[in-house]
Chain A
Amino acid sequence: MGPMARRVLAGALVTVLLVGFAACSGDDSSPPGPDEPADVALQVVSVKTGGIDEETRTRLESEVGDVLASYVVEGFLGDHPRDDFVRALSDFSTGLADDGGRDLTTLTLAETPAIAAVRATRLKANLAFFNPGGDVVGASAFVDLDFDLTFEDGTTRQVTRTGRFSLGLSDGVWQVTGYKICCSDPAAVQAGTTS
């Protein structure tokens, strides 16, 4: 595999992006206070690909990063408890939406009960672009996502999602066209419930 160019988007910028998405998700959440740990920034890197210059790569990373940031916010972050996790599928292609709905428990925190708060502790995406003839038409996004969950009884657990999203670019719009996602511990994720 070719050398990888590590390109980390400015943390502040992406944190603002995440907060912005959260604000758009329909709740009245506010940014964390000075004593509350904030969500980490989404770090987007990409495999060096022949035929893609630096400027184009930065733009592509930003475009795909937006799709992933939206997915993370709608699927995991925001104010809890909430039940609108299906919003995480808004950038999924039409043909993938039913599958996404079926797999919502894996793709998001849907059905994880009694969540009081969620904080992102690791958000990484490693991209590879598909550019036949010099035109980018697709990408893979290998994600590594860690979250600290606080439940209503005060207990905390870490939840991890890792895997690959496949994306296609058509008419200037990126859509998720596939996924292979799981968890670091597929056997069980403990979730707290109130007693």
Chain B
Amino acid sequence: MRSVLQVIRHGLRLLPLVLVLALVVPGSGVRPTTIGLMKVQPAEAYDFADGVVWTLVLGEDAEGQTDLIQLLGINFRNGNAAAIGIPRDSWFELSPEVGEERINKAYATGGAELAADAVERLVGIAPDYVLVTDTDGFLAMVGTLGEVEVDSEFAFEAEDSDLQVHRGVNTFSPQEALDFATTRTTLARGDFDRSLNHQALLLGLLEQLRARDDEPGFIETLGLDAVDGIDTGNLSPLDLYRLLNALTSVDPGKASGCIVLGTDATSPLGGAIVIPDFELAQRYGDDVRSDARFDQDCPEGA
């Protein structure tokens, strides 16, 4: 604040000199017209972070496994947002102590710290925050957001419900949004496609947040839902509130995402796993780390 005041005051001290020059310099003697036109532009800014903030978003199921794993980067300087989706069956060394395991067990095994460390090992970006929500928390927050429009890349029938998802824009109730997010077996590429669906859902939620942020009490109600329904880790309630406010400045048109592809394999215990493409994951991290913007296109299917 002080620096701004000093700069502006310094500028104001120069104002008389500028005015004198305006009168003396040839050509400046033309007096202004009676009515000038001054444009006033919309102004929007939030004090949350200076630059890119990385948040690991985890969706926890009833067994404590996190089947939604998205690393979100938001550049609060320019409204860019980038998401890196990590399929739940990605199998690699989560930490030297834990060894190899599916990433969707990291949170249940070692909490937010292990989940964040594992993602950093894979992508090369250390999350600033970890937000974990369960089914109830998700339903409460989406309930406050209201019906959400999701642009689905796929047409499919949801698991365990009558929901028919159309390719293109779908309007989902909170329960339908949950069904959309949890469906895996009816998708052609299983968890890879589900991770893409998660990104489509997050984008729809972001658009809904922006659409309703001018309703008095909306951000506050959503914040209370978030406090109740999210394990916010090291984020204080005030910081969470400020983050929610800052999220309203993210431009959905500047949001993009890719998912970490991998090779199907079998775990030592015989379960289906995916060996993630580490080179691709690291490439994503290098690409978006500083600006939350994908400069390279995602590979086919990612």
Contacts and interface: CB of A to CB of B under 8 A. Distances in A.
Interface residue tally on B, bucketed by range: 35 or more
Interface stretch (B92-100, B184-192, B240-248): B240-248
B29 interface: no
B216 A155 contact: no
A139 B245 CA distance: 10
Contacts of B34: 153, 155, 192-195
B302 to A, nearest CB: 34
Given A103-B43, A170-B238, A182-B40, A130 B4 contact: no
Nearest to A98: B4
Contact of A140 (B4, B36, B42, B219): B219
A138 B38 contact: no
Interface in B186-243: 213-220, 223-224, 227, 237-238, 241-242
A27 interface: no
Interface string B29-50: 0011111111111111111101
A128 B45 contact: no
A164 B43 CA distance: 10
B12 interface: yes
Contact of A86 (B4, B45, B218): B4
Contacts of B32: 193-195
Say what secondary structure dominates the interface of chain B. mixed
Contact of A188 (B9, B39, B237): B39
A128 B216 contact: yes
A105 B50 CA distance: 22
Interface string A166-180: 101110000001111
Nearest to A189: B40
A127 B216 CA distance: 7
Given A1-B215, A86-B8, A92-B1, A113 B43 contact: no
Given A106-B43, A181-B42, A83 B12 contact: yes
Contacts of A95: 47-48, 50
B248 A180 contact: yes
B37 A190 contact: yes
A2 interface: yes
B45 A188 contact: no
A142 B4 contact: no
Nearest to B236: A137
Nearest to A161: B40
Nearest to B246: A178
Given A100-B4, A113-B36, A106 B46 contact: no
B15 interface: yes
A67 interface: no
A166 B38 contact: no
Interface in A99-120: 99-107, 111-113
7 contacts: A137-B237, A138-B238, A178-B48, A181-B42, A188-B37, A193-B33, A193-B36
Interface of B: 1, 3-5, 7-9, 12, 15, 31-48, 50, 213-220, 223-224, 227, 237-238, 241-242, 245-246, 248-249
